[in-house]
């Protein structure tokens, strides 16, 4: 997740809310839905994460198939989509790229669902801790030796491949 944040310029919760259908390996793009200002946008997928991301998504697919075998496998759908397509919440394209490790039961429907992983973590430990942990992971993975803080991270190091000063 840290490499995607660093290489694509996504905000933490935009990355957390990526769905499988939003990752386009053919075009090396990520589709952000309902980002800042509730607007959709397309950004690049860093080439450096292609193999690792594909492997991660394959693991998520196995987890989803296990969930389906146990009568679960639901995710929350945007706005009125759940009413229009009642079973879409169990379909593979709508699953989170970074799902939570635990499920919860939606009271209104009785569905066993997964939240996006960092959202579950944020609810448990607080949003500031999520930013700290993701930044710490990125510093370790990317071997950044300067002081790193979530707010100034991209401003200081920039996005790979971007023109100088385009951080």
Write the pLDDT tens digit of every residue in 6-53.
778 888 888 888 999 999 999 999 999 988 888 899 998 888 889 999
Tokens for 156? 């200081």
pLDDT tens-digit map of 54-89? 999 999 999 999 999 999 999 999 878 988 999 999
* Residues listed for the chain: 167
For position 154, what pLDDT does the model report?
55
* Residue 150, both tokens: 């979530």
Judge whether residue 167 has pLDDT over 50: no
Question: Domain boundaries in the chain?
Answer: 2-157
Identify the weakest region by mean pLDDT among 29-33, 107-111, 117-121: 117-121
Residue 71 burial by Cβ neighbours in a 10 Å radius (0-12, 13-18, 19+): exposed
**How remote is the C-alpha of 49 from its chain's centroid?**
13
Which structure tokens are listed for 124? Answer: 């448990």
Dump pLDDT digits (tens) for 141-154.
666 555 555 445 55
Per DSSP bridges, beta strands 41-44 and 99-105 are: unpaired
Across the chain, the runs of DSSP E, i.e. the strands, are: 23-24, 29-32, 41-44, 99-105, 112-116
In eight-state DSSP terms, residue 10 is: -
Grouping H, G, I as helix, E, B as strand and the rest as coil, residue 77 is: coil
Question: How far does CA 113 lie from the centroid of its chain?
Answer: 16
* Residue range 125-136: mean pLDDT, rounded: 59
């Amino acid at each position: 997740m840290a490499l995607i944040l660093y290489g694509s310029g996504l905000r933490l919760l935009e990355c957390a809310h990526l769905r499988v259908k939003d990752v386009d390996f053919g075009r090396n793009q990520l589709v952000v839905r309902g980002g800042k200002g509730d607007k959709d946008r397309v950004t690049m997928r860093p080439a450096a994460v292609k193999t690792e991301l594909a492997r991660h998504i394959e693991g998520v697919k196995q987890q989803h198939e296990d969930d389906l075998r146990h009568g679960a496998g639901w995710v929350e759908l945007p706005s009125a989509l759940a009413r229009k397509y009642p079973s879409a919440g169990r379909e593979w394209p709508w699953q989170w790229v970074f799902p939570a490790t635990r499920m919860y039961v939606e009271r209104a429907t009785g569905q066993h669902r997964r939240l996006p992983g960092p959202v579950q973590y944020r609810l448990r430990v607080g949003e500031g801790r999520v930013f700290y942990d993701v930044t710490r992971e990125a510093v370790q993975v990317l071997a950044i030796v300067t002081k790193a803080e979530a707010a100034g991270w991209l401003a200081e190091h920039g996005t790979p491949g971007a023109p100088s000063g385009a951080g």
